[in-house]
Structure 1
Amino acid sequence: TGPKPPFKWLGDRDKYTWSKAPRYDGKPMQVGPVARMLLAYAQGYAPVKKLLDGAIATLGITPKQINSTMGRTFARAAEAVVSADLMREDYNALVNNIKKGDIDVFDASKWDPSSWPAQAQGYAFIEVARGDLSHWVSIKDGKVERYQAVVPTTWLAGGRDAQGITGPYEESLMGTGTHPLVDPKAPLEPMRTIHSYDPCMSCGVHILDPDGNLLGEAVTS
């Protein structure tokens, strides 16, 4: 029922991205430290407001400008400071719980596969260093039937969707049309912007050969 060979391309679309392009309510989302820090700032969280207000006053910028190449780098460092303080509090609570004999770290009621129904589905969301990470699984007869992870880099690196809406990487480079590029042969400015997202392309992009054959190599710097 398909086209008669020979043909150069077989597909329902003329473009393809090797990274997922996840959307929330149909919209792309920037995830990661700058998103978390700006959200905490908007909610008036005191530790974050102190750090961001100090940076804003020192640099003479507005909160909106934190969403930038420099801002993402700063937000990662500022979040490390806030997280370290929170971890110290959590560590003290952990030690106190252990002293009281509370050593449970998860709900083990469904740990044994024999306790699972014939068919089950599950998902989990967690914030990691680069942003939102979710895992999705379908189980049938005690075995994993389908599994996928939507990692932070897919939120950030995902290409344009079917409506032509750009993802964060592309938008940050071309959204206003003013992103600098001094020398096209040495594109340092775009590289700095992409690096500010802390990309993990090995997480976001997967190319598999079922027979384990080496199909090609790519070297990046």
Structure 2
Amino acid sequence: MNTEQLQLVLQSAVQALPTLLAATPVTLGYALAAMLLGLPLGFLVALSRLSRFAGLRGASSLFVSFIRGTPLLVQIFVIYYGLPSLGITLNPVAGGIIALTLNAAAYLSETIRAAILSIPRGQREAATSLGLNPSQTMRLVVLPQAARVALPSLSNTLIGLVKDTSLVSVITVVELLRSAQLVIARTFEPFGPYLAAALIYWAISSLLEVVQRVLERRFARGG
């Protein structure tokens, strides 16, 4: 690449920035929505996998296995393009959020389940001896400690979701990647807009990593 070509790439990247930055809140919105919805769903799935009832364990294990064993892109296609054949039609926003939420819930459930299992059984027994019922033991003893254990993985899941939102561009959601594609369709210069989009994803991920480290240090001091 000569100097002139480099200048053209940088110019196209700079020109694409306003459009891409305008779409960045959409990317963040999808990631945060999937995380906020996926956390409680993942928690329920984790509890189901730890349940004494075989039916709950089996159903939740099947859900996790299916989601983790299939590509997110295929899941988006099934939800957005497949469900209409069953009479269920979703708009791109709902389809994208549902797909990301289900995917996040499956991975979060494994993180939460592992964190819960990492708490020594003796602490549960001690809580029971103090008169706490199972619900109180989970809420007051197990979950606060499990949250510290799970924090790095939860943060990594959110970072992964930010990048995974790029896949909803295939169902016409105008997020960061789709915005770059629209700019390219006008300018016929792909390198600059794609490079700018990549740098924005990198900046978001780096910022979230900093927040993760701050939270980890705070939790460590609290421990």
TM-score bin, normalised by smaller chain = under 0.3
Q: Which has the larger radius of gyration?
A: 1
Higher relative contact order (CA 8 A, sep 6+): 2
TM-score w.r.t. structure 2 length? 0.27
Higher helix share: 2
Higher strand share: 1
TM-score w.r.t. structure 1 length? 0.27
